[in-house]
A and B are shown apart, each in its own frame.
Chain A
Amino acid sequence: MITRQFGSEVRWMLRRPRTLIGLFGLVLVPIIISFGIWTAGDDEGGGGPGLAAIIQGNGMVVPIFTLFLSLNLLLPLVASIWAADGLAGEAQHGTLRGLLVAPVSRVRLLFVKLFGLTAMSLFAVTLMAVVGIIAGTAFLGTDGMMTLSGTTLGTGEGLLRIALFVVLVTFQMVAIGAVALAVSATTEHPLVVQAATMTTIIVFQVLSQFPSLDWLHPFLITTGFPGLIDVMRDPIPLTQIWDSTLLAGCYLLIGTGLAAMRLITKDN
């Protein structure tokens, strides 16, 4: 029963034209990045901060570089669109009423929506990673994966690192999506959900620029993003990765809880 609902939710999401357009847009990102770096060529110096410095001739870094960049804006945007469609969109079309009066518990309805969000986030992130590996290898070539620590990992271990990063990024996305779902449960206008989510993410990133607000920084989900780059260090330091994931976990709990409270008390 529940698996059928999960399946139909994902099918329903995939059938929306904007989902397909969104996925197509996401896939373009690693291709454009690989192409851009390839045309920039091996000019003197190279270098730069973070992954940008080691990406030349190191195609397996492209998926991680792409996801790391997209995590700041693009992936939260996509998560907020899906969360907006999930409840607010259905409310707008009047289909949510049918779901709420159906003999299905509302908590289960929320879990179906959350599952749809998770499945689609994982799908989108994996798709970007796969395209990133292909485009990176094609444009920049590869000889294992060079880490920020200067070691070179074999292809197998490199793929494992990419898989780990995919899971970590998906989790961040789901956490943002869960909070967006809570907003989505309160309104009939999907655009309000997207605007609210993106405004929050951007405001968080602005706030984290002010050293005088450092007491606030540990509460912001965006504070956890940069630490995920530790996946590219060798051996992997786990502290920051754990902290970021726990931080996102708290957002997931808060978002899901608020969404459930709102759905349960919602009038038909």
Chain B
Amino acid sequence: MNKRKVTLAAAAAGVITGAAGLSLLAMPAGAGQPPSLPDVSPETLVQQVLTSKPGAFGGTVEVDNKLGLPSIAEIPQLADGKHSARIWTDGNGKFRAALPNGQSEQTIVNDGKTTWSWNSADNEVTKAEHEADEPKPADEKAKSVDPAEAAKQVVGLTKEFSDISVDGTARVANRAAYELVLTPKASEKTLIREVRIAVDSELKMPLRVAVLTNGTSEPAGTVGFSEINVGPQDAKLFEFTPPANAKVTTPEAKEEKGRDRKPELGIEQALQGEDPQIFGTGWDTVVGAKIPAQAMTQVPAEAQGLVDKFTKKVSGNWGSGQVFTTKVATILIADDGRVVAGAVPEQVLFDTIGQVK
């Protein structure tokens, strides 16, 4: 009889352990105790970030996006939600990035001579041989998920226009880090309240970037390592052989094909065009462009519907158009093809659009 009670208790303990395990798994990983690190002055830290050479590392990057962008089938990575990517670099320009997209995956490998971009969803490899120093779009895409690169750019562009401080420490991907905070100076007319960058205390390499906007306590976007191992990586990671039955194309051919299929790319291309016009400096920089009238008329009705759905009609002494607002950026498209965009409230865009030529 007694033995029976013991067994019963053991079985009950099993059930409780299982249930506790479930709730433990469901809980988001805690940040843990912030490490205690020697004080560092913001100026030194900024300098160290800008001059740091991360060297070889491999890791998993989590992107948490609450920008409030509509979800577009073509670029699911931009939609709100959490996404992860894995990156490896040898510290000398070779890298590999694996960007899962649901059950598919895009792999980008730069082996030093060639950038390979593989997409499992269409079983296709894009091969871009490096001729000059010109950056390849695939390279840019792979780098955009690297928090270290992103943070360096932000710091480089905005440090003169920000109040910089060190706000305690944090533990990111199990490494001790300083929290570097860039707050736009009061004179900056921007939507962004502050940018927090967790800087590795040893390597001085940014591990996490969080963007906070006015009026919210939660970051509008976070890019950071959830896992990182520093040190030499397997050389095989930086090689790529196209699978036997995959199509291999060049970026030029792919672009050609893409243009036939999607005329709405006209706007995007114009914005990325040769001479975007830059107005202002610092946080409230506004980028402007003029879309050729021809591209405007190419926009198919379907895409036009999409545009109308997410934009607001506005007009003023500058003309009339549509404004598209997210938490961190505003885009104004005038009916005559002028486009301005920036991390600024719409009023700044109304004031600037007149200068677009």
Interface residues of A (CB under 8 A from B): 45-51, 53-54, 56-58, 105, 107, 143, 146, 148-152, 215, 218-219, 226, 229, 233, 235, 237, 239, 243, 246-247, 249-258, 260-261, 264-265
Contacts and interface: CB of A to CB of B under 8 A. Distances in A.
A233 B84 CA distance: 14
A257 B103 contact: no
Interface string B239-261: 01111111000000000000000
Contacts of A229: 103
Contact of A226 (B12, B103, B123): B103
28 contacts: A45-B122, A49-B102, A49-B103, A50-B102, A53-B122, A57-B245, A146-B245, A148-B105, A149-B98, A149-B107, A150-B243, A150-B246, A151-B240, A152-B244, A219-B22, A237-B86, A239-B60, A239-B227, A243-B25, A246-B21, A249-B18, A250-B18, A257-B11, A257-B16, A258-B11, A261-B15, A264-B4, A264-B11
A68 B295 CA distance: 45
Contacts of B54: none
Nearest to A253: B18
A219 B22 CA distance: 6
Contacts of A237: 60, 86
Given A149-B98, A150-B107, A229-B103, A48 B15 contact: no
A254 B20 CA distance: 10
Interface in B4-31: 4, 7-8, 10-19, 21-23, 25-26
B282 interface: no
Contacts of B19: 250, 254
A244 to B, nearest CB: 10
Nearest to A261: B11
A53 B245 contact: no
Nearest to A47: B122
B321 interface: no
B18 A150 contact: no
Contacts of A226: 103
Given A149-B105, A150-B107, A53 B120 contact: yes
Given A46-B122, A229-B103, A254-B15, A150 B242 contact: yes
Nearest to B237: A235
Contacts of A218: 22, 25-26
Interface in B86-130: 86, 98, 100, 102-105, 107, 116, 118, 120-123, 125
B15 A250 contact: no
| Interface size range of chain B in the complex | 35 or more
A162 B118 CA distance: 23
A54 B242 CA distance: 13
Contacts of B21: 246, 249-250, 253
Nearest to B3: A105
A255 B17 CA distance: 11
A265 B1 CA distance: 11
Contacts of B60: 237, 239
B16 to A, nearest CB: 8
B11 A260 contact: yes
Q: Which residue among A105, A247, A254, A265 has the maximum number of chain B CB atoms within 10 Å of its CB?
A: A254
B120 A247 contact: no
Contact of B25 (A50, A148, A250, A256): A250
Give the top 5 A-B pairs by smallest Cβ distance, nearest first. Answer: A50-B103, A253-B18, A257-B14, A150-B118, A257-B15
A215 B150 CA distance: 31
Given A53-B121, A264-B11, A254 B18 contact: yes
A57 B120 contact: no
A101 B15 CA distance: 25
Contact of B104 (A50, A57, A252): A50
A68 to B, nearest CB: 9
A219 B10 CA distance: 23
A156 B19 CA distance: 39
Q: Which of B19, B60, B121, B241 has the most CB of A within 10 A?
A: B121
Contacts of A56: 123, 245
Contacts of B125: 150
A218 B122 CA distance: 31
B296 to A, nearest CB: 31
A182 to B, nearest CB: 9
A249 B237 CA distance: 33
B121 A47 contact: yes
A252 B241 CA distance: 42
A260 B102 contact: no
B18 A53 contact: no
A46 B227 contact: no
Given A47-B121, A53-B120, A252 B18 contact: yes
A238 to B, nearest CB: 10
Given A150-B246, A229-B103, A49 B15 contact: no
Nearest to B102: A49
A258 to B, nearest CB: 6
A261 B105 CA distance: 45
Contacts of B86: 237
B201 to A, nearest CB: 25
Contacts of B120: 50, 53-54, 148-150
A150 B104 contact: no
A72 to B, nearest CB: 13
B262 to A, nearest CB: 16
Contacts of A264: 4, 7-8, 11
Contacts of A58: 245
Contact of B123 (A53, A247, A256, A257): A53
